Amino acid sequence: MSEDPKDTQGQWVTVSSFYRPEEPEAGFEDILACEEARWADTARQAGLAPKEHVRVRRGEEEVTIEVSLALDAAFTPVQTLWKAQ
C-alpha cells in the first residue's frame, strides 16, 4: 500500500514483521501479499479504506505490515475486567 514520509512514529502499529531473505525466495513476496490482503480485508470489514489504513514498510533487513491506530482500535477488542467466581 502507500507509505507517507510525513507520518510520525506512533501513528502506526506493526502487526507482522518479516526478515528479508538474503537471497530472493520465490514465496516471500507471496507471503507478504497474503498478509497485506488479510489486513486490507480487516480494514474493509471495519469500514476503513485499506490504502489509508494498511501499509508495508520495507527496511534494509526487515519488512513490516503496519495498520493505522483507527484499524488497530477496530480490530483490538476493548480490555474488560472479569473475575472467576
Residue 82 burial (CB count, 10 A): 5
**Calpha distance 62→78 (Å, rounded):** 30
Cβ 54 vs Cβ 43: under 8 Å: yes
Predicted model pTM: 0.74
| Average pLDDT over the chain, rounded to an integer | 85
**Calpha distance 74→60 (Å, rounded):** 30
Q: Give the residue, 3 or 85, on which the prediction is more confident.
A: 85
DSSP state of 10: T
* Domain tally, the chain: 1
pLDDT of residue 69: 93
pLDDT of residue 2: 42
Give the chain's end-to-end CA distance (angstroms, integer).
Answer: 47
Print the domain residue range for 47.
12-75
Band of the pLDDT at 3, cuts 50, 70, 90? very low
Band of the pLDDT at 52, cuts 50, 70, 90? very high
